[in-house]
Amino acid sequence: MSPAEPRDETPIAEPDAVHIGHVKDYAAGVPAVAVALARGLEQMGPLRTARTLTKLNQRDGFDCPGCAWPETPGHRKHAEFCENGAKAVAEEATKRRVTPEFFATHSVADLRERSGYWLSQQGRLTHPVHLAAGDTHYRPVSWDEANRIIADEFAAMSSPDEAVFYTSGRTSNEAAFVYQLFARSVGTNNLPDCSNMCHESSGAALGASIGIGKGSVTVPDIEAADLILIAGQNPGTNHPRMLSTLEKAKHNGARIIAINPLPEAGLMRFKDPQKVSGVVGHGVKLADDYLQIRLGGDMALFRGVARLLLDAERAAPGTVLDQEFLDRHCAGVDDYLRLLEDVDFADILEATGLSRAAIVDLAEAVASSERIVLCWAMGLTQHHHAVATIGEGTNVLLMRGMIGKPGAGLCPVRGHSNVQGDRTMGIFEKMPESFLAAQDAEFGIVSPRAHGYDTVAAIGAMARGDVRLFVAMGGNFVSAAPDTEYTRAALEQCSLTVQISTKLNESHLATGSAALILPTLGRTDKDVVNGVPQQVSVEDSMSVVHLSRGSLPPTSPELHSEVAIVCDLATAVLGSDHAVPWQTFRGDYDVIREHISRVIPGFENFNTRVRLSDGFVLPHPPRDRREFDTATSRANFAVNPLEWVRVPEGRLILQTLRSHDQYNTTIYGHDDRYRGIKGNRRVIMVNPDDIDSWGLKAGDRVDIVSEFAAPDGVQERRVSGFEVIAYATPRGNAAAYYPETNPLVPLGAVAKESNTPVSKAVVVRLEPSRTA
């Protein structure tokens, strides 16, 4: 039971006063390398730093747990990673340990008082632990006993729908596949995942428009594009390896236009730390143009552009619209063009906050480019009208025939490193019949057909007392979900909460009557079963599937792989004579892949092809053949009434976003370097004129209060003690960090169709701080 290595006692720096420095106008460069190495050495020591970073994103190594940006096919650099990928690795491969002794010292009540940062800095979990109903401490438990406790919970259910199985997007394809197979074998589709809070709006919009919820470009397409639009994405922080691709595109002559309320450093200029020029020079200017749009104004921008394209086509017929593409491959064109007749540019200007000249310029770029790529992330997906916004952006590309041709297409840039793969593997509360039927036939089980709960619905069901068992495969549900206190209370309604985790977080302390923490191997860890090293696979943002194998000896002999945890649990719940050969799966992941190859289209010869040096690319009918698997068998224009976000009198619209020093709910440190904000994360970025009009000064402390309509009148949520920072954000628009401001996001504020929490447009007011 003793941990493999001694506990690291390096003190943990808690936040202090906020320091405001210069906002950077470039990303990466020497500071990025220095920070990456410093974090590595601090958490892992020199040996593990060398052992992990040399294997990161290499063919014989592991997939970076940072983001889902693809590796460049063919040639790979020696160091195929970025500062923030290195931080993600350091966080996982740390030498610090959370042992049973730790839980004996710290009661649950004590741990609830600690910050998320402190919790994660304690290190890797080493042993399964159980919090019995009414107990004050987590105590060690054997794996058999843990599985028996969960099996007893199933026995007490009146319906399998009283169980909920959450997934975060780091889980491998193999683990995700057995996990959803287990949920469906017990009889529920309750499979909410982080994607419900992330790119669900992209999936919903693209599914309706082009018949597949995935992006239609590859890295070589981006490198070959002549116009790249980047809307609602901060790649310098969240997808730093994308900057190298953009640099190449730029070198090949692409024009890049950034659409963002904030002038993010990574959009402006890039210094590649792996090139001499990046280390000593000024770097490459990335964005040629920057459109400082208002929060939620993108649908209007796309519509304005579409209208200008139509006007230009009418002025010079046959020169702007790709009429052949529209005739052969699209549906709903006339309805959409009719909608464009009604465009009032006063609305477009109000919604976007941009000048007409800027929009005309964008439209001219779109009209005159031959290969256009549209990239986006959370700035488009987390709005009330997110699905319509992405549909509108897709319309613009369809008008120009930009789907299914080299150098052009749609590029939703995914977040978690395997979030796309998890969905392909069936982590979805409403998988299509074709998947369920194929899986049932393969295993001789009968999957339920009724749709399950997504993330927001699961919280509602827990709050109603309809859920006995909540299981999380990774993630940090209570902090990632909206409406933190409501969500915490909902989790507390469960009889048993189970977290399969690598590291301690707030969700281990938002427990049902009883709780289990099951520690698991991460990406960097070696996974050896019966003496044979196992490997897992992942799918990146561009549908490339490849292997990942860790290289570090596991933190503790008590760690089980995610696959092993699911298979042992399934055996305990379903019995050893169940139709699915759980223990065979546990012993050899090739056997799992064999079955996947027969259930999921595109995975034929999975075991052979995944061992090719660059893996393999999954089919994408629009990209490959201009085929659209929609009800019309064509690409459908999205036809929706125009919407945007209005700022109510005396209020601000708040977006919640990531700093440069965090991975979602895991806080690495307190240095949002590119934005020049250091020392503390409890800050709100506000336009200087708004600060004046609120009668405030930069540096004042405020409470942020959100307001929303509820059935029983207007309700409020409050977070206290935030420092006001003057920042270059549009008037009426503010920004603050996730997850500190999640308590402000009301559960009921969700995107239409995708049910994604509206994390980028919370109506708030500021009040003098109650906590001084």
Ligand X SMILES: Nc1nc2c(c(=O)[nH]1)N[C@H]1C(S)=C(S)[C@@H](COP(=O)(O)OP(=O)(O)OC[C@H]3O[C@@H](n4cnc5c(=O)[nH]c(N)nc54)[C@H](O)[C@@H]3O)O[C@H]1N2
Residues that bind Mo ion (CB under 5 A): 198, 415
Residue 56 C-beta: closest distance to Mo ion, Å: 20
**Cβ partners under 8 Å of residue 552, min gap 6:** 48, 51, 52, 93, 524, 525, 526
Count helices and strands (H / E) in the chain: 31, 34
Count of residues in the chain: 772
Rounded to a whole number of angstroms, the distance between the first and last alpha carbons of the chain is 46
- Give the burial class of 386: count Cβ atoms within 10 A of its Cβ; 0-12 exposed, 13-18 middle, 19 or more buried: buried
How far CA 77 is from CA of 72, 242, 274, in Å, comes to 9, 14, 9
- Tell me if 359 contacts ligand X by CB under 6 A: no
Of 98 and 320, CB closest to ligand X: 98
Site string for ligand X, 128-167 (x = CB under 6 A): ----------------------------------------
Q: Considering only residues 164 through 193, tell me which ones interact with ligand X, judged by CB under 6 A.
A: 168-170
What does the per-residue mask of binding to ligand X show for 662-681, with x meaning CB under 6 A?
A: xxxxx---------------
Q: Which residues contact 371 (CB under 8 A, 6 or more apart)?
A: 221, 224, 225, 226, 227, 402, 405, 406, 407, 408
Count of Cβ atoms closer than 10 Å to residue 464 Cβ: 10
Residue (398 or 685) nearer to ligand X, CB: 685
| Beta-strand runs (E) in 160-287 | 163-167, 227-231, 255-259, 269-271, 284-285
- Could you say whether residue 365 binds ligand X (CB under 6 A)? no
H helix or E strand, kind and range, residue 701: strand 701-710
Can you tell me which of 29, 40, 66, 203 binds ligand X, judged by CB under 6 A? 66
Q: Which is nearer to Mo ion, 214 or 678 (CB)?
A: 214
* Contact between 385 and ligand X per CB under 6 A: no
Q: How far is the CB of 708 from ligand X (least distance, A)?
A: 14
Given candidates 165, 182, 477, 589, which one binds ligand X under the rule CB under 6 A?
A: 477
**Residue of this chain nearest to Mo ion (CB atom):** 415
> Please, what is the minimum distance in Å from the beta carbon of residue 252 to Mo ion?
29
Residue 582, binding choice from Mo ion, ligand X, none, Cβ under 5 to 8 Å by partner class = none
Backbone torsions φ then ψ of 343, nearest 5 degrees: -65, 130
Query: Applying CB under 6 A, which of residues 121, 122, 209, 238 lies at the interface with ligand X?
Result: 238
Least distance in angstroms from the C-beta of 68 to ligand X: 7
**What is the SS3 assignment for 152?**
helix
Q: What is the DSSP letter of 136?
A: S
Q: Examine residue 488 and tell whether it contacts ligand X (CB under 6 A).
A: no
Stretch that binds ligand X, among 29-37, 231-239, 339-347, 579-587 (CB under 6 A): 231-239
Please report whether residue 379 would count as binding ligand X according to CB under 6 A. Answer: yes
Q: Among the candidate windows 203-211, 600-608, 694-702, 738-746, which touches ligand X by CB under 6 A?
A: 738-746
- Is 369 a binder of ligand X (CB under 6 A)? no
The entry of Mo ion, ligand X, none near residue 500 (CB within 5 to 8 angstroms by kind) is: ligand X
Nearer to ligand X by Cβ, of 467 and 667: the residue is 667
Cβ proximity to ligand X: between 475 and 622 the closer is: 475
Task: Quote the least distance from Cβ 154 to ligand X, whole Å.
Answer: 21
Shortest Å, Cβ 18 to ligand X: 19
Give which of Mo ion, ligand X, none residue 417 binds (C-beta under 5 to 8 Å, depending on kind). Answer: none
- For ligand X, which is the closer residue by CB, 237 or 543? 237
Q: Per-residue x/- marks for ligand X, 252-271, CB under 6 A? A: -------xxxx-x-------
Residue 371 or 385 with smaller CB distance to ligand X: 385
Residues 6+ apart with CB under 8 A from 612: none
Return the number of the residue (115 or 630) whose C-beta is nearest ligand X.
Answer: 115
Instruction: For residue 605, count CB atoms less than 10 angstroms from its CB and return exposed for 0-12, middle for 13-18, buried for 19 or more.
Output: exposed
760 binds ligand X (CB under 6 A): yes
Of the candidates 533, 546, 687, the one whose C-alpha atom is nearest the C-alpha of residue 606 is: 546
Say how far apart CA 374 and CA 205 lie, in whole Å: 14
CA distance 393 to 397: 7
Q: Which is nearer to Mo ion, 352 or 541 (CB)?
A: 541
502 binds, among Mo ion, ligand X, none (CB under 5 to 8 A by kind): ligand X
Q: Does the CA dihedral 71-77-83-88 come out positive or negative?
A: positive
Instruction: Could you list the beta-strand ranges (E) of 217-265.
Output: 227-231, 255-259
Q: Which is nearer to ligand X, 209 or 655 (CB)?
A: 655
**Residue 656 contact among Mo ion, ligand X, none, beta carbon within 5 to 8 Å by kind:** ligand X
* Paired tokens of 663: 């991975």
Reference 508, options 466, 554, 470; nearest CA is 470
Residue 500 interacts with ligand X (CB under 6 A): yes or no: yes
**In terms of CB distance, is 84 or 706 closer to ligand X?**
84
d(CA 39, CA 42): 5
Q: Specify whether the CB–CB gap between 326 and 333 falls below 8 A.
A: yes
Bridge partners, residue 545, by sequence? 539, 616
Q: Which is nearer to ligand X, 264 or 723 (CB)?
A: 264
State in angstroms the smallest separation of the CB of 336 from ligand X: 22
- Residue 420 binds to ligand X (criterion: CB under 6 A): no
DSSP letter at 735? E
User: Binds 177, which of Mo ion, ligand X, none (CB < 5 to 8 A, cut-off by type)?
Assistant: none
Least distance between ligand X and beta carbon 301 (Å): 8
Binding mask 76-115 for ligand X (x = CB under 6 A): --------x-------------------------------
Q: Does 197 bind ligand X (CB under 6 A)?
A: yes
d(CA 83, CA 277): 18
Q: Name every residue whose Cβ is closer than 8 Å to that of residue 377 and which is 6 or more positions away in sequence.
A: 199, 232, 233, 234, 238, 239, 412, 413, 415
Cβ(666)–Cβ(476) below 8 Å: yes
411 binds ligand X (CB under 6 A): no
φ/ψ (deg, to 5) at 378:
-65, -20
Residues 562-594: b if buried by 16+ CB within 10 A, e if exposed: bbbbbbbbbbbbbeeebebebeebbbebeebbe
- Which listed residue (97, 184, 503, 634) binds ligand X by CB under 6 A? 503
- How many residues bind to ligand X according to rule CB under 6 A? 62
Q: Tell me which of 218, 369, 502, 755 binds ligand X, using CB under 6 A.
A: 502
Are 54 and 86 spatial neighbours (Cβ–Cβ below 8 Å)?
no
Q: Which is nearer to ligand X, 150 or 224 (CB)?
A: 150
The contact set with ligand X (CB under 6 A) reads: 66-67, 84, 120, 168-170, 194, 197-198, 231-234, 237-239, 259-262, 264, 293, 295-296, 298, 377-379, 382-383, 415-416, 473-477, 480, 500-503, 505, 520, 522-523, 562, 655-658, 662-666, 738, 742, 745, 759-760
